[in-house]
Amino acid sequence: MATTKKVAKISKKTVEANPKTLDQLQKDLLNMQKDLAEAKRGHKLGELTNPRVITNTRKDIARLHTAIAAAQRNQPKEDK
């Protein structure tokens, strides 16, 4: 039997309603990228029962990239 890993879905409203720090967003991004790699590996081996997980994870990664870019724009610039 194939084992499946439950992937947390990040919706657009969640990103807007729950502001996170830049470090938290980057940690979430790394975790999502690891989840995507694991899902792709499972799909190649035939262990993944729902291949839509890959698409949803890719979209969540894109949302995180957007949130990170917005957080970087909103950070005050430091003088060098």
User: Per-residue pLDDT tens for 58-74?
Assistant: 999 999 999 999 999 98
78 within a domain of the structure (yes/no): no
For residue 24, the enclosing domain spans 19-73
Q: Given a cut of 90, is residue 20 above it in pLDDT?
A: no
Model confidence at 7, pLDDT cuts 50, 70, 90, reads low
Tell me, yes or no, whether 79 lies in a domain. Answer: no
Quote the CA–CA distance of 79 and 29 in Å, as a whole number.
Answer: 28
**Number of structural domains, the chain?**
1
* pLDDT of 17: 57
Query: Does 35 fall in a domain?
Result: yes
Return the percentage of the chain with pLDDT > 90, whole number: 60
* Domain assignment of residue 8, yes or no: no
DSSP state letter for 1:
-
Give domain status of residue 12, yes or no.
no
Mean per-residue pLDDT for 6-15? 58
